[in-house]
Chain A
Amino acid sequence: MSWSRFAKILQTRPLDRETKLMLIDLIAGTDDPKIEEEIFTFLFAWEEAEAQTQKQLLEGIKKITTEYQEAKTQLGQTHQKTALSIADDIHRQKRIEDLKASIESL
């Protein structure tokens, strides 16, 4: 399990060659399974920290964009109301004039 995860880290993580070399050196240079486990633990803790960072970033962005959309929607609604009221005023006046004309024609 540890080795496959280690290989996946080497394969997918954007680590430079130097870091990969160091990882390989350390793992290859130790025969003690305890030390090997400690190295893996350290490495996997780093991987989880990276994943956590990414997750927090995505969640943060999602939250911000959601807030923004809600605020914008509300803003749009508010101003659309105002625009509509202006249009309503125009139509009201037209309606009034039409009614006036109708009355005068009676």
Chain B
Amino acid sequence: MSPLPRPEDMPKPPGAEPAKKKFGRMAMPPGPDGASPKPAPEVVAPPTAPAPEVSPAPTPASDAGPVAVDTSSTPELDQAVAFLLAGNNATLKGLSKELGISPTEAKLLLEDMETRGIIGPAKPGKAREILVTEWPPKVATPAGPDTSAPVPPVAPAIPTLSTPTRSTPPPVISPVTPPPVIPPVTPSIPPVIPPLGTPTRTTPAPDTGAPAPGSPDTGPTTPDTTAPDAGGATGKWESIKSTFIGAYERFASKFKGEVQPDQEKSYEGTIGDLAKNAATGFLSVVASYTGVKIVADLPQWLYQKYFTNPAERQRIKEAFALKETELGDTTDPSAIDQKKARLEEAINASKFLTTEKKAELLTRLQDTVETYEKEDKAKRAERDEKIAKLLDEAIQTRVKNTQVLKEALNSALMVTGLSAMRGVAYGAVSVYERHKEVMASPERSASYFKEMVVKGFTETAHNLIGGGADTWTGKGLNFVKGATNVMRVAGFTELAISEYLEEGGPSGMIEASLKAFEQKGVISAVGGNISAPWERLGELMTGAKDLVTGDSAPSPGTTTPDAGAPVATTPDAGAVTANTTSPDTAIAGGATAVAMAETVPHIEYPEALVETGTVQKGDGIIKILERQGISSTSALETAREAGLVRAGGDTRLTTEAIGRLSILANTSPDGDVTITFFDTETDTVLTIDQAREAGFTYESGTVPGEIATDAEAVGHTAETTELPLIDSPEVPNDLLDNTFHLYTDTDGNFNGLDHGPGDALARMVQALKELELAGHGESAEAKFIYKQFLILADQGALPEQVDNLSPGFVELDTVVPTQTGEASSSQELPQDASGETQPLRRFKGESGKVRFKYDEDGGVRDAFIPAYTPKPADVESALAEWDLTRDEVEAHFMQKNGGRWTSGDGTSQTDYATSPRDGFAGADAKDQYREFSRVVEKLDRQEATLYEMEEAGLTNTPEYAYWKKETAELAKYVGTKMKKEFQITERPI
């Protein structure tokens, strides 16, 4: 919209004529009978100016307005001012008498003084205000309280009193409606009505300067309100205090949307201003860069909308009055007074009126004048009020319209993620505005190119070196102005370039933006778009800080590939490191990783099967496979074939896997399903062993503090509660060919058993096996038999037998030896009745126990140490073999993680509660130390048990060979870790 209409654009009623700039009689309207009116008493009409026009184009520079005091003088003026300063009122009679001039000349002199700002406008019933205290004034002071608050002088419709000279007959008064002078509103925020005559800048202020505090990009640099005489204030503290008070008042005034006084243009600038402008300039740049400027603008807009400043209305009203006087509107008090005075004189001088008649006439005259003045004042006030209200509504509507436009555009840009393009368009708009400025200038001394390009840069450069200011603070302010310009351009350019490089041009940016919407959903994408510039800003700040401090620590979000992690053997699957944590680049990185994985020739990884990495507590591989669409039965079978599931335990994911490891199930053309692990951080494919070595998986029961699954917790609870075992109708109580019997009482509670002929424990084992094979391994019968078995075992059975037995344990194919043996590190291999060597199953040494698992052929399939908690002394001694101490290792990981032990709130990053992948939550120092020390201690323990097995003469057993192989692999892994973390290539001990 064009700004509010200017006076010259306001429509004039038909027959309107500009008031003539002459003196003359006040024209009297024709009488009721239409006769020519009698010549009225001479009235001096004020000079009138041609009615201005309202044009749609905003040209604030051309508007007239309050001016400073004009100190050029004439002797007559000096004498008049001296007369006023002596304490006399500024009246026509007084001046004409004092100076010996005619009333007409006195009138002109009064108007001249009013125009110069020496006296205020005429007010009914009151003397004019004297606005100067000395003549000529030493400094340019504002021309009085009314003109010091520049307002848009809105001239109402004023009946132009055509005031011809005395020789011409008085014309008919025809109502003329000169258009009101409504100046345009500055394009800056907050929308305010600039004062007429305020030379607003031709270059948009919001982006070129450090704006007022709390309102970035809102206008020209605000000055120091410290009045010139405040420089002589009592002390430095008073000066600083007044500076801050002035700054606050300016801020409050701007916030409310008040028109700023014209004195802003003549500020001097202090250190306080410099600091303030630097700070707000920086904030403005940040706000623009991150697209949150609306946060600062919105409160201002709301305030101005709902709490329109009453002072603005007052100023509009005063502007009306000022313009009325300027255009020679009626109700010049002096005219009324003169008319009254003349009539009174005529009445008093009349010899033909009686005293009573005179009194009556004087009273009527007085009443008439008072009534006229009162009614005229009331009508004018009513008119002023209505126009002010109209203006308020128009302003608010215009503000609302513009704000809605801006907010909608801003939101659209933010939501679509196109805000980065603003940086690209920034230059285009700057060029365009520069072009306007160059073309608008009447004289172009240099070529167009020079004007357009060279001078544009030189102006900013000139500002950077002080802008030609005389004072240091002035130089500083100009520098801030130039610097914020540069920073803003640099920020937008950097944002645009980085997004261009990542996404490839505007079309690429749009495509990436749309893709983000599709992948993440609207809300997440919007949130990502909003947070992206903040994260980028954070990275820039960190980089700047590192540059300044010389810190070479890796920047946040940069991950280095683990050199010890096994690299996939598949060709073309190189390691791709994600270098940023922003969600959109993470998605881009992940997409790249998937694309790279898809280039592997003989394995296909459908993108849909790539997990996002969310792992729930105690999740096993089966669950994840099922989530990929593999049925539970197929998943179980496949997991068994892959060796992930075994009786008594299965492979579980560690916290390291959260957000990093993907489990892929690939179906081959012939229907087989293969399970592979995919490290999304290094984009490598891992085998099961590699995943275990990398710390992504573990065998259940081997990790201290392992979190049980819900099923296990329930099962454990069920076991510990002493619930009565009640006979199950579907489970037989007679087993082993009716030679093993279970007995119950009348309530069905088991109260006894008859194991039949043979060894009690062995028979119980066989009965349990029979129940297990029949699918009743968890029945009350089985539990009762097991309970009885434990009782018997406590009474003298071998402890190994107890450990190996549990309800549901199916691999009971060994006759348990009845003899009890001393607990020692040596152990003989169990033998069955035929003397054949049976699998060792477990080894117990002083250093720890080892459990062995076997496949269907009897070969050793797995070996592990059951869950235990390493003691600090064990960790210390294990580290000592590598010539390390616990403190050294802790200090190393803490330093590696920026001096922080935990992730911030004291909780470990690897807690199950934290999940989201897009944060790339990594292990903190505490977790890294724990993992490292545990694996070193585990190697030590494994080596010790291996040695003990050697001592026990088990070197020829397949268990020993398997355990030795496992230990060697673990030693290799630990060696790699040592080399990477501490540059230890060989174990000293």
Contacts and interface: CB of A to CB of B under 8 A. Distances in A.
Given A18-B217, A22-B413, A28-B425, A62 B177 contact: yes
A76 B217 contact: no
From A10, A22, A64, A66, residue with most partner B Cβ within 10 Å: A22
From A25, A58, A84, A97, residue with most partner B Cβ within 10 Å: A25
From B189, B217, B397, residue with most partner A Cβ within 10 Å: B397
B402 A15 contact: yes
A37 to B, nearest CB: 15
Given A24-B425, A51-B1, A18 B390 contact: no
Contact of B350 (A72, A76, A94): A94
Interface string B330-353: 100000000100010011001111
B352 A94 contact: yes
Contacts of B11: 58, 62
A54 B413 contact: no
B186 A50 contact: no
Contact of B217 (A12, A16, A22, A72): A16
B347 A90 contact: yes
A80 to B, nearest CB: 7
Contacts of B1: 13-14, 47, 49-51, 53-54
Interface in A25-72: 25-26, 28-31, 42-43, 46-47, 49-51, 53-54, 56-58, 60-62, 64-72
A86 B288 contact: no
A2 interface: no
Contacts of A42: 408
Interface string B426-456: 1011001100100000000000000000000
B364 interface: yes
Given A17-B429, A61-B387, A22 B436 contact: no
A79 interface: yes
B832 interface: no
A60 B13 contact: no
B380 interface: yes
Given A17-B429, A54-B2, A86-B365, A75 B422 contact: no
B506 to A, nearest CB: 6
A89 to B, nearest CB: 6
Contacts of B4: 54, 57
B177 A21 contact: no
Interface in B282-302: 288, 293
Given A25-B425, A65-B156, A87 B5 contact: no
Contacts of A75: 372, 375-376, 379
A86 B364 contact: yes
A34 to B, nearest CB: 15
Contact of A29 (B159, B391, B506): B506
B177 A65 contact: yes
B187 interface: yes
B386 interface: yes
B275 interface: no
A16 B339 contact: no
Contacts of A10: 432
A58 B11 CA distance: 8
A83 B54 CA distance: 39
A91 to B, nearest CB: 9
Contacts of B318: none
A63 B571 CA distance: 85
A3 B605 CA distance: 48
Given A17-B206, A21-B426, A26-B412, A53 B2 contact: no
Contacts of B426: 21
Contact of B184 (A14, A15, A62, A79): A14
A68 B350 CA distance: 37
A96 B352 contact: yes
A26 B418 contact: yes
Given A46-B401, A53-B394, A65 B428 contact: no
A93 B352 contact: yes
Chain B: interface secondary structure?
helix
A13 B177 contact: no
A62 B177 CA distance: 7
Interface string B4-38: 11000111010000000000000011011000000
A23 B428 CA distance: 12
- Interface bin, chain A: 35 or more
From A17, A51, A90, residue with most partner B Cβ within 10 Å: A17
B422 A25 contact: yes
Contact of B180 (A29, A61, A94, A96): A61
B161 to A, nearest CB: 10
Given A17-B433, A75-B379, A22 B353 contact: no
A79 B368 contact: yes
B383 interface: yes
From A47, A66, A73, A76, residue with most partner B Cβ within 10 Å: A76
Contact of A69 (B177, B293, B365, B425): B177
B532 interface: no
B261 interface: no
Contact of A57 (B339, B394, B402): B394
A8 B293 CA distance: 26
B510 A29 contact: yes
B175 interface: yes
B416 interface: yes
A4 interface: no
Given A65-B156, A71-B379, A93-B350, A22 B365 contact: no
Interface in B211-242: 217
A32 to B, nearest CB: 10
From A16, A47, A86, residue with most partner B Cβ within 10 Å: A16
From A46, A65, A75, residue with most partner B Cβ within 10 Å: A65
Contacts of A70: 175
Given A20-B429, A70-B175, A58 B405 contact: no
Interface in B32-56: 32, 54, 56
A11 interface: yes
A50 B288 contact: no
Nearest to A60: B390
B291 to A, nearest CB: 10
Given A43-B405, A66-B177, A86 B352 contact: no
A65 B506 contact: no
A85 to B, nearest CB: 8
A83 B336 CA distance: 11
B67 interface: no
Given A14-B58, A16-B206, A68-B157, A80 B29 contact: yes
B285 to A, nearest CB: 13
A44 B802 CA distance: 86
Nearest to A9: B1
Interface in B164-207: 173, 175, 177, 179-180, 182, 184-189, 204, 206-207
A61 B323 CA distance: 15
B197 to A, nearest CB: 18
Contact of A46 (B187, B375, B405, B419): B405
A9 to B, nearest CB: 9
Nearest to B187: A14
Contact of B383 (A19, A49, A68, A82): A68
A69 to B, nearest CB: 4
A72 B10 CA distance: 21
Given A29-B509, A51-B2, A66-B175, 16 more contacts: A12-B57, A13-B2, A14-B185, A16-B217, A18-B207, A18-B217, A24-B428, A46-B404, A53-B394, A61-B156, A62-B177, A65-B158, A65-B177, A72-B376, A75-B379, A84-B31
21 contacts: A14-B3, A24-B429, A25-B418, A25-B421, A46-B401, A50-B398, A53-B1, A54-B1, A54-B394, A57-B182, A61-B157, A65-B158, A65-B180, A70-B175, A76-B29, A77-B29, A82-B364, A84-B31, A86-B364, A89-B361, A90-B346
CB-based closest 10 A-B pairs? A50-B1, A65-B157, A14-B187, A22-B409, A69-B175, A97-B352, A57-B394, A68-B383, A93-B352, A79-B372
